[in-house]
Structure 1
Amino acid sequence: MKERLFLIGGGGFIGKNLVRYLRGKYTISVFDKYIDDVYFAQYPEVKKTLMELDKEQISADVESPDYIINLASIVTAERDLGLFDSMIASNLKVLLNLYDRFKDDKRLKLFVQFGSSEEYGNDGSPFAETMREEPNSPYALVKQLTTNTAMMLYRNYKFPIMVVRPGNLFGPLQGKAKFIPYVIDSLKKGEALNVTPCEQKRDFIYADDFAWAIGKLLEHYTKAVGEIVNVSSGESISLKDIIEDCRKATDSESQVNYGALPYRENEIMDLRCSVAKLENIIRKEIKFDTRMRLKEMVAIQNGGG
């Protein structure tokens, strides 16, 4: 019998890719306030429940899971302080609701809470999990608050939780407003790109590589409980190199206006994460080829995927 996996907030880009990658191994249930019925029609075996995650609890009648992955969050690069209330609701309140629902569940082996590599701030790359966080945006600050809460639940109440800090995810099904899909789409259409100087570097990770790593963490859950773990490639690539690789792969003649936009205030110039802890837990060396994956992404978008 397959183990049961709950994806909280699993109706979005990351959740869809986790379903696609992990469905053969787990019996998966998705809980979200929006479910893409067209997409999930491909996977009739996946159970889907519509619910307001910050306001409702999963019914006590639902069969207990072996694993929970909490993806619920508002993701934004905005620095608007007015976003705090909505972000706290979509992060901290969801976590506490889930804790209250599953705190006495003896079957639960691992609860995976999503943090963010942006919690580290902009100094000290490569970032290791032992470093003090210095978040410089409302999003990163709320993520840090949620991470600290998750660790408190483990320390004080032995709740089997861990925090995953992803690199910059990209891959199939990602919204076109995100950086890599936006760049590929604009280049394919021959449209000019107005961007920053793009010297900032990011630790990108392809959706399939990320899903593989998450699967490995579930397999090694006894070593993951109570830990904060970076899940990324361990390498950083400049946004300019990403654009130029995409321009070459699409054979585009689009004009790229570097420096047309300013950097954000207190911009992170090199966001690279150490993956030593991840390697130690899953007993595998991380060797993800981001540039090869970028070519795959271009091919998928060329095919209309």
Structure 2
Amino acid sequence: MSKILVTGASGFIGKRLLEMLKQHNDNEVVESTIDVSDARAWEALPACDTVIHLAAMTFVPASWENPVSFFQTNAAGTLHACEYCRKQKARLIVTSAYLYGIPSSLPIAEDAPIHPNNPYAFSKKTAEDICGFYNEFYKVPIVIVRPFNIYGYGQKDMFLIPSIIKQLKAGGAIYIKDKTPRRDYIYVDDVVAMMLQLLNKPVSFNIFNIGSGESHSPEDIIGLMQEIAGTDLPVFSEEVVRQNEIPDTIADMSKAKELLNWEPSFTIRKGLEDYLSKENMFAKPQNDR
């Protein structure tokens, strides 16, 4: 029996991962909520065979205001995870981020040009560079997962989909900043499913995109949610374009399909149905399409 350390265990991805690990995995799981930027906190952790490193700061707008904290948590935190794995001779599965900036073409494969255009993405790019160094020179086995836009039950209200759900619950009207940017949304259960797959794959070093393979605008998302929830609230856009906004993203997951036999099982409708059912906002059954 191996021992798996999960950082960021109290986050919405971490909570779902722990649920699935306990259901489908016989290995011992160590749940960690340490400050990953604190080297001494890592030294107090027990020896483990595998680290799933989820702990991170993730809200892009906040990264412009507080880039130092993002680098301390995301870059230095990953450095400490790599160093822990070096000392314990453990393997590392680490969540990165969308790093491609404004893409020249869609869909986007892992070998597309990297161009982080906000402090959050830059901190994750730095974390990836650290992982590459530790793999090349210390031979730490590392797999990097690049999620596009994750959503799911338990995500904080500052993100788009939970903020819309909060407004749906309140009634009245739905307000968004910008209705136009399209994103590849991946349901949290699909992200967790990939991580479970990786536990059974002895990969020395690799990087995998994770997305749904299609993109949707805020208008699309709101329309689907209102259809599922049985509401018809007015929608208003402030037409505020974020700094360095990316117009569209679509992930190419052919590498994950080939090497891991993984592909998403949740369409955007199926994911939103599951999410809204957990929020007790499921009006009527919908056919998956």
TM-score by length of 1: 0.84
**Aligned with 2:239: secondary structure?**
coil
Q: Residue 268 of structure 2: which of 287, 290, 299 is its match? A: 290
Deviations 1:240-262 (A, max 9, x none): 1111001111222321013x231
Residue 113 of structure 1, CA deviation: 1.5
Who is 1:165 aligned against?
Answer: 146
Q: Residue 102 of structure 2: which of 118, 122, 125 is its match? A: 122
Who is 2:56 aligned against?
Answer: 73
C-alpha spacing 1:168/1:282, structure 2 compared with 1 (3 Å): same
Matches within 5 A, 1:210-225: 210-220=191-201, 222-223=202-203, 225=204
Who is 2:7 aligned against?
Answer: 8
Is 1:28 equivalent to 2:29 in the alignment?
Answer: yes
Is 1:237 equivalent to 2:236 in the alignment?
Answer: no
Matches within 5 A, 1:92-107: 92-106=75-89
Deviations 1:272-299 (A, max 9, x none): 1110111122124444322111112111
Is 1:192 equivalent to 2:173 in the alignment?
Answer: yes
**Aligned with 1:10: secondary structure?**
coil
Q: Residue 67 of structure 2: which of 79, 84, 94 is its match? A: 84
**Aligned with 1:292: secondary structure?**
helix
**Aligned with 2:276: secondary structure?**
helix
Matches within 5 A, 1:143-182: 143-182=124-163
**Aligned with 1:23: secondary structure?**
helix
CA contact (8 A) 1:115 1:165 kept: yes
Residue 183 of structure 1, CA deviation: 0.8
The one-letter code matched in structure 1 to 2:52 is: I
The one-letter code matched in structure 2 to 1:194 is: Y
RMSD of aligned alpha carbons? 2.0
Residue 303 of structure 1, CA deviation: 6.1
CA contact (8 A) 2:6 2:53 kept: yes
Alpha-carbon distance in 1 for matches of 2:10, 2:93: 16
CA contact (8 A) 1:279 1:286 kept: no
Who is 1:46 aligned against?
Answer: none
CA contact (8 A) 1:197 1:240 kept: no
Who is 1:45 aligned against?
Answer: none
Alpha-carbon distance in 2 for matches of 1:184, 1:297: 9
Who is 2:242 aligned against?
Answer: 264
Alpha-carbon distance in 2 for matches of 1:244, 1:161: 40
Alpha-carbon distance in 1 for matches of 2:21, 2:84: 24
Alpha-carbon distance in 1 for matches of 2:63, 2:74: 17
Who is 2:287 aligned against?
Answer: none
Alpha-carbon distance in 2 for matches of 1:189, 1:104: 50
Alpha-carbon distance in 2 for matches of 1:173, 1:61: 26
**Aligned with 2:146: secondary structure?**
strand
Alpha-carbon distance in 1 for matches of 2:156, 2:170: 17
Alpha-carbon distance in 1 for matches of 2:97, 2:279: 27
CA contact (8 A) 1:57 1:97 kept: no
The one-letter code matched in structure 2 to 1:241 is: D
The one-letter code matched in structure 2 to 1:58 is: W
Alpha-carbon distance in 1 for matches of 2:173, 2:254: 40
CA contact (8 A) 1:217 1:281 kept: no
The one-letter code matched in structure 1 to 2:100 is: Y
Count of aligned positions? 278
TM-score by length of 2: 0.89
Is 1:252 equivalent to 2:252 in the alignment?
Answer: no
Alpha-carbon distance in 1 for matches of 2:63, 2:86: 34
Deviations 1:22-74 (A, max 9, x none): 11303211111xxxxxxxxxxxxxxxxxx332112434672x32211111211
The one-letter code matched in structure 2 to 1:7 is: V
